[in-house]
């Protein structure tokens, strides 16, 4: 096989892998949006009556696309330019803490922190970490 053929094959492989990663990260972002849209719907009456609770869902490809704020604590999900999803926590005026990074590992969207595939129960883990101490 000539070098040009090897180069063409490698570029095609990289494109296919990059495309798969984008598709799976997009699906993960959609799952997170659906999860928080459901929460927003269930908390809509409370959210209308106070400014201490706010759930935002954006369809932005990059940037913060979902966040929930209760009192001064904010849990947010941000799509980075390199295609990962950062899970961040901000308490009041304090600095932002990165809870996790979700990224494509070649076969699945995985949590760096938990070293396992992203699933909806992970969202509950993030919620608990962000709000349990304050609310319970």
CA 54 to CA 66: how far, in whole Å? 11
**pLDDT tens digits for 69-128?**
998 899 999 999 888 999 999 987 677 899 999 999 988 999 999 999 999 999 999 999
CA 28 to CA 104: how far, in whole Å? 10
CA 13 to CA 19: how far, in whole Å? 10
**pLDDT tens digits for 33-63?**
999 999 999 999 999 898 889 999 987 657 8
> How many angstroms separate the Cα of 102 from the Cα of each of 5, 40, 51, 134?
34, 23, 30, 25
Q: What is the pTM of this model?
A: 0.85
Q: What is residue 95's DSSP assignment?
A: P
Q: How far is CA 41 from the centre of its chain?
A: 19
């Amino acid at each position: 096989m000539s070098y040009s053929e090897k180069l063409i094959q490698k570029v095609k492989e990289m494109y296919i892998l990059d495309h798969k990663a984008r598709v799976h990260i997009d699906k993960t972002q959609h799952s997170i949006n659906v999860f928080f849209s459901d929460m927003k719907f269930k908390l809509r009456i409370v959210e209308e009556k106070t400014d201490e609770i706010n759930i935002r869902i954006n369809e932005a490809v990059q940037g913060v696309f979902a966040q929930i704020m209760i009192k001064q604590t904010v849990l947010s999900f941000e799509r980075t330019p390199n295609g990962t999803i950062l899970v961040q926590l901000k308490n009041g005026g304090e600095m932002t803490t990165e809870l996790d990074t979700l990224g494509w590992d070649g076969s699945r969207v995985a949590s760096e922190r938990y070293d396992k595939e992203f699933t909806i129960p992970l969202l509950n883990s993030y919620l608990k970490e962000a709000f349990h101490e304050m609310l319970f």
